[in-house]
Structure 1
Amino acid sequence: MKKVMVAIVTSLLFISFSSVTCAEQKKADDKVKAESSVKIPNSVLNISKDNTYPNPTQDLPYLQPSSLAQQLLDTSDVKIENPDLIRMLNETTISDAPLAFGYRATIYMGQWPLNYESNETSVNWEYQKINTNYSDNRGGKSPQQIYYKQEAEKHVKGGLTAKISNSEDVKKMMMLKSMQKTNLPLSFHTVIGYGTKKDQVYNVAPKKMGYLYAYAPAVNEKGKVTFGEVYLVLKGNKKSIVVKNVTSQGIGAWIPIQDHVSFGYVVSDRPR
């Protein structure tokens, strides 16, 4: 009976501890999410429902490694986060052989950008001017109104700030990390369609000219990329990844924020 009571108490303590741990983990996750989000200024509006050009969603979730891939990743001395390399490992099949004693093989998988470490993430809300609407009310006696209407289709492109090997892989890792830190919809290429408009009105006083400038915002990402030569090593039934000739390179990127426009309104006595 005493043993049964001890087992019950132990189980209750375990459940209680697990509940507290889950609650604490949830609070920690919420805290990280809150700290990573960027506060959007009032001058920036979401045009995803108004944009006449439907931008494709840039869905780059973290690729979940398979059981074998995770085992291999755990053997590496260098952190591996490259989605394309993880995908290759997910597609790899290695069968255990009962008579594999003495069997050895080293397979060169190529030189890869292995991971990206973010050092600084900031937002330029006026990265590129995309439109100007104006109203000349210098001869008027009552206020006029002006609102945003996109006068021409505008393509906004970002990119890396320096040449680097495997640039597409590097861009994917940088965008993933930047998305996690900002919680913003990012894309290296976004389009604002002709005729896109918002109903928000700006008043132009008599004897004045009003200029409504529209800008595409972008995230400036800076950090370090680690490269290395990746080898798959088989010894009997043991499998591991060995990374050789590890190098690091600093890199930056501009990544436009998709379907967001920043506005600046200026009143003037004369043409600008």
Structure 2
Amino acid sequence: MRNVRFLFVVFLFFCLCISGTFSVYANKQEEGGKKYKIPSSVLNVTKENTYPNPSQDLPKLQPSELTQQLLETSNVKIENPDLIRILNESSISKPFIALRHHATIYLGNWPLNYVSKETSANWEYQKINTNFYDNRNGKAPYKIHYVQEMQKLVKGGLTAKVPNAGDVKKMMLLKATEKTNLPLSFETIIGASTKKDQYYNIPIRKLGYLDAYAPAINEKGTVTYGEVYLVLKGGKKKLTVKNVTSQGIGAWIPIQDHVTFKFNAVESPR
């Protein structure tokens, strides 16, 4: 009888532990989802957009076997996809190494990596359109919906001038996309006559304003620069980074093919 009770207590304790583990995991998932959850006022217009935006997917470049060996020898973490591509396209012949000569090859001053510190969303980053209707003399509510009146180019960009800005933007875009899982691009276009069949009621004796905004992600962090050298010595090869510097940087990155809507019904023109 004691054995049965003991086994029952152990089983109950095990169930409680499993329940607690799943509860903590669920809470973490919920907290992570809330941070970048798209509000109901933000709609995807990919299908309706009269301007087909090109995809800005930047696949993470996989280093070759040689490149991976070199990256592991570096005294500073290297994530710059353009530098990794150059290393992938390079080769080092064994006969040269066998000569046991000492060689130091300067590869340039590069932005090496980007560390994200804060990622937040501005759902009303830039106003792109306003649809309006005056229903003050109407006898029934009037339905209004979104129609883009003019083609609108929405640009993001870095918040400060930095060397090799193109490389920095690529690394920030990769990091922000990874964190938010949103379709991000430094440029996006909403074409003229883009429509969305979601209607908003304007009561009688009111004027209705339907404002449309392009949302964007604000990315902040630190970019690290350094002079990269390929060192060949004694049959061994390695990367050495000198004169390392770090700089804080921010960027606005629009969310592609998404529009935020804000509707107001008022008694007098604004």
Band of TM-score, shorter chain: 0.7 to 0.9
Match of 2:72 among 54, 57, 74: 74
Match of 2:44 among 36, 43, 46: 46
CA contact (8 A) 1:115 1:225 kept: yes
TM superposition shift of 1:230: 0.1
Partner of 1:100: 98
- Secondary structure of the residue aligned to 1:53 is coil
Q: Does residue 194 in structure 1 map to residue 192 in structure 2?
A: yes
Q: Does residue 162 in structure 1 map to residue 160 in structure 2?
A: yes
TM superposition shift of 1:77: 1.0
Aligned equivalents of 2:193, 2:227: Cα separation in 1: 50
Partner of 1:4: none
Q: What amino acid does structure 1 have at the position aligned with 2:167?
A: D
Root mean square deviation of aligned Cα: 1.9
Partner of 2:84: 86
- 1:117 and 1:36, CA in 2 relative to 1: closer, same or farther beyond 3 A? farther
- Secondary structure of the residue aligned to 1:152 is coil
Aligned equivalents of 1:78, 1:89: Cα separation in 2: 16
CA contact (8 A) 1:36 1:182 kept: no
Aligned equivalents of 2:223, 2:213: Cα separation in 1: 30
CA contact (8 A) 2:121 2:217 kept: yes
Partner of 2:175: 177
Match of 1:253 among 246, 251, 254: 251
TM superposition shift of 1:67: 0.3
Partner of 2:267: 269
Partner of 1:138: 136
TM superposition shift of 1:34: 5.3
TM superposition shift of 1:38: 1.4
TM-score (norm: length of structure 1): 0.86
CA contact (8 A) 1:231 1:243 kept: yes
TM-score (norm: length of structure 2): 0.87
Gaps of 5+ in 2: 1-24
- 1:36 and 1:209, CA in 2 relative to 1: closer, same or farther beyond 3 A? closer
Aligned equivalents of 2:152, 2:200: Cα separation in 1: 23
CA contact (8 A) 1:156 1:191 kept: yes
Offset from partner CA, 1:73-108 (integer Å, 9 cap, x none): 000010000000000000010121287243110000
Runs of 4+ in 1 over 6 A off after TM superposition: none
- Secondary structure of the residue aligned to 1:74 is helix
- Secondary structure of the residue aligned to 1:173 is helix
Aligned length: 244
Q: How does 1:8-47 map to 2 (within 5 A)?
A: 38-47=36-45
Q: What amino acid does structure 1 have at the position aligned with 2:78?
A: I
Identity %: 67
CA contact (8 A) 1:97 1:237 kept: no
TM superposition shift of 1:135: 1.0
- 1:98 and 1:258, CA in 2 relative to 1: closer, same or farther beyond 3 A? closer
- Secondary structure of the residue aligned to 1:97 is helix
Partner of 2:226: 228
Q: What amino acid does structure 2 have at the position aligned with 1:256?
A: P
Aligned equivalents of 1:252, 1:231: Cα separation in 2: 28
Q: How does 1:114-153 map to 2 (within 5 A)?
A: 114-153=112-151
Gaps of 5+ in 1: 1-26
Aligned equivalents of 1:231, 1:99: Cα separation in 2: 16
- Secondary structure of the residue aligned to 1:181 is helix
